[in-house]
């Protein structure tokens, strides 16, 4: 009976420490991810980058770091993580192909936000429609047409065509 208890206690110590280490990795990793995101936000705000882009960058960095933390915790538990990484890569490729149009709208939105060819309140003609810019989002831009219709235009259509800016009327 004593030898059985000795064997069990060895397993408890060995695997218990691994479980404790994995839990510590998750706790510290989640805290560190939050710290990095807060530092990133301060740096980007000082760079005067658009708040929409800052929010998106914070989300991507945070969840990317969390994925790394969870993979490290799984690895500490003795679970082989190379297959998880391969699956994540393959899934990312499949999602990239499936969301090709959406990703092009996102890339165009980032370009519009960074390059600022127009601003909220400007009257523009772009992508075959004209109107006053009400909102510039990451995936689309909202225009208010002269007949008070709301036009939601995919950003890739705007950047893929000419943009005509009209001067603001003198006050």
Show the domains of the chain with their CATH numbers: 2-98 (1.10.287.1260), 118-166 (2.30.30.60)
pLDDT of amino acid 47:
83
Confidence of residue 1 (pLDDT cuts 50, 70, 90): low
Q: How far apart are CA 19 and CA 125, in angstroms?
A: 59
Q: Which pLDDT belongs to residue 137? A: 85
Regarding predicted confidence, which is higher, 4 or 87? 87
Assign 153 to helix, strand or coil.
strand
Residue 145 is predicted with a pLDDT of 93
* Short-list 159, 165, 104, CA closest to 127: 159
pLDDT tens-place string over residues 24-75: 999 999 999 999 999 999 998 888 777 777 887 888 899 989 999 999 998 8
Do 124 and 146 contact (CB within 8 A), yes or no? Answer: no
Q: Name the more confident of 141 and 17.
A: 141
The whole-angstrom separation of Cα 77 and Cα 110 is 39
121 close to 136: Cβ distance less than 8 angstroms: no
Q: What is the DSSP code string of 121-144?
A: T-EEEETTEEEEEEEE-SSEEEEE
């Amino acid at each position: 009976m004593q030898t059985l208890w000795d064997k069990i206690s060895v397993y408890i110590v060995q695997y218990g420490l691994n479980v404790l280490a994995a839990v510590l990795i998750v706790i510290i990793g989640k805290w560190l991810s939050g710290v990095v995101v807060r530092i990133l936000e301060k740096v980007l705000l000082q760079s005067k980058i658009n708040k929409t882009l800052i929010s998106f960058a914070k989300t991507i960095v945070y969840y990317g770091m969390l994925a790394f933390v969870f993979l490290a915790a799984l690895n500490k538990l003795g679970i082989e993580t190379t297959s998880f990484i391969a699956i994540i890569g393959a899934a990312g490729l499949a999602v990239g192909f499936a969301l090709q149009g959406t990703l092009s709208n996102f890339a165009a939105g980032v370009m519009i936000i960074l390059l600022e060819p127009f601003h909220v309140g400007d009257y523009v003609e772009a992508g075959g429609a004209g109107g006053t810019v009400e909102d510039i989002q990451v995936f689309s831009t909202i225009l208010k047409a002269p007949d008070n219709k709301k036009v939601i235009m995919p950003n890739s259509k705007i950047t893929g065509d000419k943009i005509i800016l009209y001067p603001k009327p003198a006050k």
